[in-house]
Chain A
Amino acid sequence: MVSASTNPGEAVQPDVIQVVDHLFRHEAGKMVATLTRILGFENLQLAEDVVQDALLKAMQNWAFSGVPRNPSAWLMQVARNQALDAVRRQQNFRSKETDITAFFEHRSSTQPGPESVYFDDEIRDDQLRMMFACCHPDLPRESQVALTLKTLCGFGEEEIAAAFLTSTAAVAKRLVRARQSIRDAGIPLEIPAGSELSPRLDAVLQTLYLLFNEGYKASRGDELIRQDLCDEAIRLTTLLVEHPTGNRPKTHALLSLMLLSGARLSARVDAEGNLLLLAEQDRSRWDRAMIQRGLAHLNRSAAGEEISEFHLQAGIAYCHCTAASYETTDWQRILTLYDILVETNNSPVIALNRAVAISRVRGPEAGLRAVELISDRATLEAYYLLHAVTAQFHFDLGNYGEAAKHFQRAQTLAGVRSEQEFLANRLRSCREKLAD
């Protein structure tokens, strides 16, 4: 039943099956990165096809013969054979055949030891190259995120579409165009060096931040995919920060922000999936280990002289994470950080968040004034949170009529059922107060 010739090492007894969560996804990411380096970045699609075939073989075989003791090695071996087949079939690839053979022979050993550390470093370097390439500034930002999810994170087109609330066809098209841009612009697969490094690193951080935000917004879509996006953003940023190239205060700041925010994700909804305000969240459900990791990276971000937006946002997250309760939150400190943040980033959404902090420190009247003073406020008109925040200020001031109006507006604009329900409840509270 077990074909020893194809499996390095024995197979695990079939009725004791443990496959690590997302193993296929992560192995896909690693293999695509490595194969693309060997086959050339312009042959990204071929690398992806080879990896798809290898996973398919694993799916079919492991179900019968069990999971091999070293799944990575098994997959790499199959991918190697597939890659060689593909390369032999195409004339213009003949020159690659030696490269591929040499590369894989180098790695045919499954023994742990100094060599495997070398392999791990190489695999990580390959992933970093891929990260810099996928996040190249010449590619449109949305394409960067889609490409990162597809090639580095092993997401399927359908999964990416679900995450972005778009169609599979639209994602497929975006990816085709991105791959074409890579070929046309001759985007290189390399870790930038010298003066190029800083701006390129910034580009990567922005994309990873965007990826995290897509997952963090509990406002739309399938919740499972959202958590996965946050996890992937954290995983990739961790990879980056552990490499000499990415090991900079700003990267630590971003990672800290992700960990401190991610730690609180599961507490945002109750058992029935209803939205909970920060004030209502059960803080015992926050992931303490993640918070600890977040704090460690926050410390490391304190080196150097740059205070980036990530530093400020991480600082704000730190204030929330270290408060034992909503009441004991250091809102003054949060406000101070927002004051600096709005100087760096004049996004009206940040200004709105600052208005909330102001209300906590100076009261709802001050909060309302701060909202009115948001420059660019017009762009927030269709943003449900503008109305929800305004409504709550009015409610706190006893202006239940005004509050009801704004809660109603917020409800019509809210994207997800749990939020609409939440706002409907607030509206009911207003009406009850008015009826008194």
Chain B
Amino acid sequence: MAQQTNDFLYLFRGGADPKQMSPEQMQQNMNRCFAWMGELRSKGKFKAGEPLGDDGKVLSGKKGAVVMDGPFVEGKEEVGGYLIVSANDLNEAVALAKGCPIFENNGTVEVRPIEHIPGL
């Protein structure tokens, strides 16, 4: 029986196309990320997080024999990074996500509770 934990996963998709951003815009975007993540840290909510690199692989088939470059999905679908945050419940995790600057550039944040199955 899965238990709820206080950990939630944020998956970031979309946002501004960095190839189109000027250096100044990138710096301002970074500043906004600092501000938001800084807030999460100072509230003790930030647990982990990293950006994800562009070159990846997708495995499928028997024993993962089929290895392809990818995933190549449309920009707004591609997961650019993740965060693990601490929150009392999903509502709080959602509330904390609202400050993410990705929304200013039409990005999305998927919020998922991390479950714990005892005995594993």
CA distance A93 to B19 in the complex (A): 23
From A14, A22, A158, contact of B27 by CB (8 A): A22
Residue pair B34, A14 in contact (C-beta under 8 Å): yes
In the complex, what's the smallest C-beta–C-beta distance from B26 to chain A, in angstroms? 4
From B18, B23, B31, B37, contact of A154 by CB (8 A): B23
Residue pair A56, B30 in contact (C-beta under 8 Å): no
Closest to A29 in B: B23
A contact face: mostly helix, strand, loop, or mixed: helix
B contact face: mostly helix, strand, loop, or mixed: helix
Residue pair B30, A19 in contact (C-beta under 8 Å): yes
Residue pair B27, A24 in contact (C-beta under 8 Å): yes
- Beta-carbon contacts of A43-81 to B below 8 Å, as 1s and 0s? 000000000100110111111100000000000000000
The reply on B25 being an interface residue by CB < 8 A is yes
From B21, B29, B30, B50, contact of A156 by CB (8 A): B21
The reply on B98 being an interface residue by CB < 8 A is no
CA distance A156 to B25 in the complex (A): 9
Contacts of A154 in B (CB 8 A): 22-24
CA distance A158 to B33 in the complex (A): 22
CA distance A393 to B90 in the complex (A): 70
Query: Across the A-B interface, how many residue pairs have beta carbons closer than 8 Å?
Result: 75
Residue pair B33, A55 in contact (C-beta under 8 Å): no
CA distance A381 to B92 in the complex (A): 64
The reply on B38 being an interface residue by CB < 8 A is yes
The reply on A155 being an interface residue by CB < 8 A is yes
From B29, B41, B42, contact of A59 by CB (8 A): B29
CA distance A64 to B38 in the complex (A): 10
CA distance A100 to B48 in the complex (A): 36
CB-CB contacts below 8 Å: B14-54 with A: 18-19, 21-27, 29-31, 33-34, 37-38, 41-42, 48-51
Contacts of B34 in A (CB 8 A): 14, 17, 19, 62-63
- Beta-carbon contacts of A21-40 to B below 8 Å, as 1s and 0s? 01111011000000000000
The reply on A277 being an interface residue by CB < 8 A is no
CA distance A15 to B22 in the complex (A): 25
- Tell me how many residues of B have a C-beta within 8 Å of chain A: 24
Residue pair B22, A156 in contact (C-beta under 8 Å): yes
In the complex with contacts A22-B27, A59-B30, A64-B51 CB distance below 8 A: yes
Most buried by A among B34, B37, B50: B34
From B18, B19, B33, contact of A63 by CB (8 A): B33
Closest to A168 in B: B20
Closest to B33 in A: A63
Closest to B52 in A: A60
The reply on B81 being an interface residue by CB < 8 A is yes
The reply on A102 being an interface residue by CB < 8 A is no
Residue pair A56, B18 in contact (C-beta under 8 Å): yes
The reply on A279 being an interface residue by CB < 8 A is no
Residue pair A64, B37 in contact (C-beta under 8 Å): yes
From A19, A60, A64, A159, contact of B31 by CB (8 A): A19
Residue pair A24, B26 in contact (C-beta under 8 Å): yes
Closest to A28 in B: B23
Residue pair B41, A15 in contact (C-beta under 8 Å): yes
CB-CB contacts below 8 Å: B44-101 with A: 48-51, 80-81
B residues in contact (CB < 8 Å) with A: 18-19, 21-27, 29-31, 33-34, 37-38, 41-42, 48-51, 80-81
Can you identify 5 A-B contacts, CB atoms within 8 angstroms? A23-B27, A24-B27, A28-B23, A52-B19, A59-B26
Having A60-B80, A155-B24, one finds 10 other A-B pairs with CB under 8 Å, namely: A14-B41, A17-B38, A19-B34, A24-B24, A59-B18, A59-B27, A63-B34, A156-B22, A156-B24, A159-B22
